[in-house]
């Protein structure tokens, strides 16, 4: 387990990752499996892509991407609610960032989703 954790640690995050693993030690098996290691790996890839956007294209491009995501995110949710595409929909990386950031405030997220669905 230590070797796996060490391979996932980004500089400066060792303490936080160990706290996260300790907090979920009892729920990493059975029906309540969180798949924490897989989730951290997916998040690491996502974070790397977002960091590369800033590094490669500069802060102005990152600001544009975030602004665009804030416009596109509600549109994406509306399309999902209306089921306009009749298939699976995959958000862009910037929409995904806005979506997951929105979910960090569960009460606001629920209120916005309920308002969106009830408006349709």
Is 69 in the same domain as 44? no
Mean pLDDT of the 2-11 span: 57
Mean pLDDT of the 18-37 span: 61
Q: Are 54 and 66 in contact (CB under 8 A)?
A: no
Measure the CA–CA gap between 19 and 96, rounded to whole angstroms. Answer: 26
Q: What domain range is 103 assigned to?
A: 59-120
Residue after which a domain boundary falls, among 30, 57, 84: 57
pLDDT at 59: 75
- Per DSSP, the chain holds a count of helices (H) and strands (E) of 6, 0
pTM over 0.75: no
Is 73 in the same domain as 51? no
pLDDT at 109: 85
DSSP SS3 for 26: helix
Is 1 in the same domain as 44? yes
Nearest to 91 by CA among 72, 70, 65: 72
Is 88 in the same domain as 73? yes
Tally the domains of the chain. Answer: 2
Is 48 in the same domain as 84? no
pLDDT at 5: 52
Mean pLDDT of the 95-111 span: 84
Regarding predicted confidence, which is higher, 32 or 85?
85
Q: How confident is the model at residue 31 (pLDDT cuts 50, 70, 90)?
A: very low
Q: What is the pLDDT of residues 58-86, one digit of tens each?
A: 777 778 888 888 888 888 888 877 776 56
């Amino acid at each position: 387990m230590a070797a796996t954790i060490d391979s996932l640690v980004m500089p400066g995050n060792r303490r936080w990752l160990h706290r996260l693993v300790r907090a979920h030690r009892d729920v990493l098996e059975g029906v309540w499996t969180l798949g924490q290691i897989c989730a951290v790996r997916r998040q690491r890839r996502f974070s790397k892509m977002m960091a590369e956007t800033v590094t490669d294209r500069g802060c102005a491009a990152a600001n544009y991407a975030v602004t665009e995501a804030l416009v596109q995110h509600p549109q994406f949710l509306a399309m999902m609610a209306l089921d306009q595409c009749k298939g699976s929909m995959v958000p862009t990386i910037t929409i995904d960032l806005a979506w997951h950031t929105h979910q960090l405030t569960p009460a606001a997220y629920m209120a916005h989703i309920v308002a969106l669905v009830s408006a349709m």
